[in-house]
Structure 1
Amino acid sequence: MAWQSWNEFFAMGGYGVYVWGSFWICAAGLCLEWVLIKQHRKNVLKQLRRMALAESQDG
């Protein structure tokens, strides 16, 4: 498709609300997933450190 202006591009032939809404919802979901994975990784590493410390104190 060829658009004559940026306004036409963002309007997407009248479907811009659906196209851009879907885009932003998907982007937000990906960002949320990244944050949750980062948080989970931090918690797992903290738990592993605690376990390693407990093992070293037992032995």
Structure 2
Amino acid sequence: MQWESWSAFWNMGGAAFFVWGSYGLTFVLVALELVFVFQRRKDTVNRLLRWRKAVGRNGGGSGIGNGPARTGMESQANETP
């Protein structure tokens, strides 16, 4: 499309509120999603660091055997049918 002037472009033929509002809402939602992703990543890294500290650097926190402690879900997920 071609517009006569910049004001005609920004007006969008009378639909500026809907067009620019859609762009604005999309920008806000994408920015909010990025904030949540980075916050979740930070929480996950902190949780993994706490877990690593609790288990120990070698992963021998169970005190039995040489491998890391396994939870019930991990042992079930690693079994082959």
Q: Normalising by the residue count of structure 1, what TM-score does the alignment of the two structures yield?
A: 0.94
Q: What residue is the counterpart of 1:50 in the other structure?
A: 50
2:17 aligned partner? 17
- Percent identical: 37
Range that drifts further, 38-47 or 49-58: 49-58
Point out where structure 1 has 5 or more consecutive residues left out of the alignment. none
Amino acid at match of 2:13: G
More helix by share: 1
4+ residue stretches of structure 1 with deviation over 6 A?
Answer: none
Q: TM-score, normalised by structure 2?
A: 0.69
Task: Indicate the structure (1 or 2) with the bigger Cα radius of gyration.
Answer: 2
